[in-house]
Amino acid sequence: VRSLSFRRNYNIIWTECGTAEAFYRMLGEKVPKIESDLEVTPEAMFRCFAELSERDGAYKQTGAYHYAFLFDPGTSEVLVWDIDIGRHNAIDKVVGLAVTRGLDPSRTALFSTGRITIDMVLKAARARVPILVSRSAPLDKAAELASLFDMTLVGFLRSNRFNIYAAPQRVRGAPAFPE
């Protein structure tokens, strides 16, 4: 067994695809809540799901790619998109593309094909994205963290249904969560 010593001024963050409890607690303290009046309609999300179906050739061919895109929640217009074998990388790419193109991520919604983990919620929160949508499920800690940030989190999006896991006030027509 070998011991490691670190100076006190180092911050070590362990990530394990959204399962590290210390990581989760630290994130909630460092990133401020999202304040946004942006809303999305169910129809806009369904149009994004249809858009994905049109672009989903690489996934259908290989079963190995994830898509991410930023879209205007009012019009469903896809503003920037990319694919990658890793769902985290696809999100990094679209946020990076948006910033380099002068788009403001805080005025968009983020769509991902991958399962949502706490680190993916953190990526969206750091970019100030108020609405995160996925065709897959979020992990329970991701939903907790989205709530902490007041980020709208939608999962299991299909062509005619979805689940809301956090901050339902940004989904127009959504029922309020029970207290």
Question: So which residues are the catalytic ones?
Answer: 17
- How would you label 14-53 residue by residue, b for 16+ Cβ within 10 Å and e otherwise? eeeebebeebbeebbeebeebebebbbebebbbbbbebbe
Q: What are residue 132's DSSP bridge partners?
A: 110, 153
DSSP reduced 3-state for 111: strand
Residue whose tokens read 């672009």: 55
Q: Which two tokens stand for residue 50?
A: 């249809």
